[in-house]
């Protein structure tokens, strides 16, 4: 992404036994092949039978070693009818999403401003493109009765994902209910109810 | 911060009539004075009588024009007894916090991992320092019966702030309750209850 | 891309009357709407009836003002049967390409090494993904008898394109035939023949 | 600081046996704890009984492993009455200083301009904040009869410090007196006298 | 170059047994000597008896370990009478060239624009300086009957070089003649003829 | 230099009436000519009859508009017999120097280490190259009885220069002698003597 360090050689592949640096170390170039830049199967729908009715298939430096230092990655997102990719942020990447099939209601919220947190939304149909700026909370919802599919490009080789509901109400261990009750200005019973809706992230 | 573009001169001040570029344009150097690098009053407690019992006083490029292009800023945070600086993120800055008075229970949550969203917490006393990595959700809570004060440095001249509760349940306009009900796996009544707790950000 | 300067605010839109800075200046945020992050029609095939049998539809900061400072952009590429997206480079961006329809023979060439300029190639089918590292010469060729379609994401808001044949043999004005004859180790007649094959870029 | 490479993951801790890369390598995330982001004792005065009457306590990536890749660090500075933090530069960081106790006379000098090297100074009292732009020579002097304390944030995980007097007149080995005599336009006797004032840095 | 990650210490030398990271790892500072920042012999003409009549002598991080992380390097270029440094790009560096002896006809070509690929050329004599922007195709030609010499500085510790003729017509293995014939809009016989002019790069 | 923001287009020239941004704004590309990338006369010796016996001729973005955003610049340095380019730093650039004529004694000093400020020196002859890392204090001295000439490349379009003697003892206005007396551990009389040696920078 904009803040990925730039490469100092044509490319830098992951060896099988990587030391952990900021990003990854490189495989000796003579061991590099075209397959190190390749991924297959992005045309295959993934299983969306979960509480959210959506599934994210990541194609980042963990799937394509050749992306190391190159500052970009992809994801395919499948949405069941009425499926949701819930509010989340990518702390280190901007996302540009293209709808391949179906219709999606999408939006993002700005950081705090004098006018509050502004919500920008759009109804997208096949062939529409939308941008979610780096670090802002955003979502996509399939209002329609048919499945939807989108491909998203992200401006980092390894964009983090923070699913808000999971991070706030499902962290490991949980955040103190005293903190959350005051943060959301509700009673601890409501917080415990929210924390009780256990579910896993869709990515 | 780590991803602020670097300066191409000693400093770059804001003129009174700035065109908006990425960051800000510069005031002609001959018009620069020491006061352009100066801010006063960070020793003064701010008013914490709000729902959260906390108040953030920002000292960034909007308060000190000389910070433009320099990649750093400050904030003073006052906490009433049992006051909370609620879960929030800085999309473009890491924060390093120092407790000046009182005790604080602080924490941050990692992005999604195979082990979920890991929570790291610590009880801090006067003179303790803690780091909240860029883009991660974090909070500070004053458990104690006495006021607390902290100073935070942030790795950007203009760190954004996203208060999670405000951005998710208090955006302008509100996020559709259909989206939020599915995102948090609760009924729309619970969402409406959460959205009804109107309050303003503490910064 | 990896080397785009990072944003210093949530986003930075182009005003109608932009001064030219490195990138672009910003539209006042209060004038920003969801449409500033939106583009439509990427599902529509473009006209490939040219000498190459291919056409690139760009979706960068010139089409989506909201991409300014965000370090990413898109392109749709249509290929007629036996159509070619000829050898070219993006001086400031890595490309990650996904095949939406058809099959493509793709490749890139490394910079000079002790083993010469190494060629990496792959035959791609629908759903396959391939990476072309920043600044390297690469191409895509539709060997098949049916049209092909790909979407490419690029790690810059405004990736340059240098089509090698155009830049070397079709520049304006032309490069001296004495230079080109020696560069390619052939006679001036061959150079004149190559320069005579006038055609326009496919983007 | 502005030019620290940005992180490619939430955080990157130092293992006990680090290979030296640009910055540091990472500890496996599963070995990370809250204490990796923690430092304690910044409220404790340090010993200022040295020739300068000042002492700098560093809190950077060497004290807090979690700061690796995050582009920020801290320092506490204690000043005895009439104590001085002498002219120095941070080659890779901007500094923003807050006075916690006492009064300080501070200043920095610009790089060479047509009007010479401009000096900007300010008398600071408790609660005042001042910025020293990256790479410029700056100092703080406690004019008052009482001790002073300041906390400084710096825009790098590992800001270098170059104490001018030490680097120019106390280097190891010494700079040739022929060079220094001509540089300062004085006799070698004056240079030898300056070199003879042996003392150690206050950080 | 502009996009080299910045240093996080004074310098970072290569050890004898380097792990490959993005760039290089560091030698322990106590093993560093002045010779790690030193190269000798740039005043010696190199052998230009090759098909191009030119020779590039590189002085980058591979010759001077101390250049690691510092974002700059050098090259000396010798030109026989009528010698050519053929069209090439540096994918990750801008070049600034100074003529030390003789005269050179130099030029670069812009990326694709609405007016095509614009060629900028200049006849240079001893003491003239010219800039070749990052990633653009450029060349230098010694029209004169006497040898010429230039020194070029490049904005990366390890600027890649892509010699266009070699990369396009001399890659290993060769690019398919079907691809090249369509790319250059000529017959396969012309492509085979161009591919047959085997020669090695001059750097 | 390593921390110059990267370009977002082929090049970005200065218009005659520039607004000051971080760096400079761009001239409309259609007004660009080859002369915008050109400088002449670097082969001409400059006048070294000053107290230092040296003169620096700068070739940066102020002389070559085309260098804007490109992260590199040049300087020619002339040295009279026994001439000195005195201890100075470039706060935002690494320097790589090549000796064209004569011999030079050069050196740089590291930032503060546990072993003090380490001095690295080398005697250079014609054709020798030496690197001065970003932000470190360095100098060149012509020990010989004949003039010397060097060309230096710097990793920024606009490298600042801080001449230590001028910045510390010749600033405008002067730094308080109380500060300098304590900083150098000498009497105010010595400081006044040093401040009295008025002279101008050689660049």
* pLDDT tens-digit map of D26-70: 666 667 888 989 999 999 999 999 999 999 999 998 898 888 778
In the prediction, which pLDDT does D1 show? Answer: 28
Q: Which chains touch F (3 or more CB pairs under 8 A)?
A: B, C, D, E
Task: Report percent pLDDT > 90 for chain B.
Answer: 62
Whether D8 and A156 lie within 8 Å, measured CB to CB = yes
**Partners of residue A27 in chain E, C-beta under 8 Å:** 20
Nearest to F90 by CA among D135, E154, D94: D135
Q: Which chains touch B (3 or more CB pairs under 8 A)?
A: A, C, D, F
- Interface predicted TM-score (ipTM) over 0.90: no
Q: How far apart are CA C59 and CA C156, in angstroms?
A: 11
Q: CA torsion angle for B13, B16, B20, B25 (degrees, to 10)?
A: -20
Q: What is the DSSP string of F77-118?
A: EEE-TT-EEEEEE-TT--EEEEEEES-EEEEEE-S-BTTBSB
pLDDT in tens, F88-131: 999 878 999 999 999 999 999 998 988 889 999 999 999 999 99
pLDDT in tens, E102-137: 999 999 999 898 888 999 999 999 999 999 998 899
Give the 3-state secondary structure of residue D93: coil
Q: Which of C116, C134, C178 has the CB atom closest to E166's CB atom?
A: C116
Q: Which of E53, E134, E137 has the CB atom closest to C168's CB atom?
A: E137
Region B170-180 average pLDDT = 93
Residue C16: which pLDDT band, with cuts at 50, 70 and 90?
very low
For chains A and B, count residue pairs whose Cβ atoms are closer than 8 Å. Answer: 199
pLDDT tops 60 at residue C2: no
Region B20-33 average pLDDT = 62
Give the 3-state secondary structure of residue F188: helix
Eight-class DSSP state of B137: E
**Partners of residue A9 in chain E, C-beta under 8 Å:** 22-23, 158, 160
Whether F129 and E71 lie within 8 Å, measured CB to CB = no
Task: For residue A99, list its beta bridge partners.
Answer: A150
**What is the residue-averaged pLDDT of chain C?**
86
Q: What are phi and psi of B15, to 5 degrees?
A: -80, 170
pLDDT in tens, B57-80: 999 988 988 887 788 999 999 999
Q: How far apart are CA B88 and CA B156, in angstroms?
A: 16
Binding-site residue numbers of F are 85, 88, 90, 95, 138
Q: Residues of B numbered 30-89 whose beta carbons fall under 8 angstroms of chain D's beta carbons: which are they?
A: 32-35, 37-44, 59, 64, 66-67, 69-74
Residue A17: which pLDDT band, with cuts at 50, 70 and 90?
very low
- Residue C89 CB: number of other CB atoms within 10 A? 31
Residue D90: which pLDDT band, with cuts at 50, 70 and 90?
very high
**Partners of residue D19 in chain E, C-beta under 8 Å:** 19, 25
Residue located via tokens 């035939």:
C177
Q: How far apart are CA D190 and CA D172, in angstroms?
A: 19
The alpha carbon of residue D177 and the mean position of all alpha carbons in its chain are separated, in whole angstroms, by: 27
Q: Is position E31 annotated in a ligand binding site?
A: no
Residue C190: which pLDDT band, with cuts at 50, 70 and 90?
very high
pTM comes to 0.90
Q: How far apart are CA B139 and CA B121, in angstroms?
A: 9
In the prediction, which pLDDT does E146 show? Answer: 96
| Six token digits for residue B23 | 């960051």
Region F15-31 average pLDDT = 54
Residues in chain A, overall count: 203
- D160: which residues sit within 8 A by CB, 6+ positions away? D90, D91, D92, D93, E9, E10, F111, F112, F135
Residue E45: which pLDDT band, with cuts at 50, 70 and 90?
very high
pLDDT tops 60 at residue A16: no
Residue C17: which pLDDT band, with cuts at 50, 70 and 90?
very low
Region A94-104 average pLDDT = 96
Q: How far apart are CA F64 and CA B185, in angstroms?
A: 61
pLDDT tops 80 at residue A123: yes
Residue C62: which pLDDT band, with cuts at 50, 70 and 90?
confident
Eight-class DSSP state of E176: P
Residue A25: which pLDDT band, with cuts at 50, 70 and 90?
low
- Residue A113 CB: number of other CB atoms within 10 A? 15
Is the torsion defined by CA of B58, B61, B65, B67 positive or negative?
positive
Nearest to C74 by CA among C17, C5, C159, C144: C159
Residue C15: which pLDDT band, with cuts at 50, 70 and 90?
very low
Q: Which residue of E has its CA nearest to D155?
A: E8
pLDDT in tens, F37-65: 999 999 999 999 999 999 999 999 889 88
Q: Angle at which helices F177-184 and F188-196 pack, to 10 degrees?
A: 110
pLDDT tops 80 at residue E18: no
In the prediction, which pLDDT does D22 show? Answer: 55
Sheet of E129-132: strand order equals E54-59, E73-79, E148-154, E95-101, E129-132, F38-39
End-to-end Cα spacing for chain A: 20
pLDDT tops 50 at residue A2: no
Give strand ranges (E) for chain B. Answer: 38-39, 54-59, 73-79, 84-89, 95-101, 104-109, 119-124, 129-132, 137-141, 148-154, 162-163
pLDDT in tens, E62-106: 898 888 778 899 999 999 999 999 999 998 789 999 999 999 999
In the prediction, which pLDDT does A114 show? Answer: 84
Residue E156: which pLDDT band, with cuts at 50, 70 and 90?
confident
Nearest to E72 by CA among D114, F95, A100: F95
**What is the residue-averaged pLDDT of chain D?**
86
In the prediction, which pLDDT does A200 show? Answer: 67
Nearest to D146 by CA among D45, D62, D68, D59: D45
Q: Which residues of E55-77 are buried (b: 16+ CB within 10 A; e: fewer)?
A: bbbbbbbeebbbbbbbbbbbbbb
């Amino acid at each position: 992404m904009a803040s990925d360090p730039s490469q100092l050689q044509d490319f830098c592949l992951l060896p099988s036994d990587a030391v952990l640096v900021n990003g990854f170390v490189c495989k000796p170039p003579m061991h590099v092949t075209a397959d190190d830049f390749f991924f297959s199967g992005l045309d295959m729908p993934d299983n969306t039978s979960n509480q959210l009715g959506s599934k994210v298939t990541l194609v980042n430096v963990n799937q394509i070693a050749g992306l190391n230092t190159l500052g970009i990655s992809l994801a395919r997102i499948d949405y069941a009818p009425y499926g949701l990719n819930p509010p989340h942020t990518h702390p280190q990447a901007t996302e540009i999403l293209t709808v391949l099939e179906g219709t999606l209601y999408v939006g993002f919220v700005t950081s705090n401003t004098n006018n509050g947190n502004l919500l920008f939304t759009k109804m997208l149909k096949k062939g529409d493109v939308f941008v979610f700026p780096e670090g802002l909370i955003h979502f996509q919802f399939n209002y329609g009765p048919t499945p939807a599919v989108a491909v998203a490009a992200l401006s980092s080789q390894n964009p983090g994902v923070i699913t808000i509901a999971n991070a706030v109400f499902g962290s490991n261990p949980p955040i103190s209910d005293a903190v959350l009750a005051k943060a959301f200005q509700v009673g601890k019973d409501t917080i415990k109810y929210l924390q009780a809706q256990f579910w896993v992230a869709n990515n």
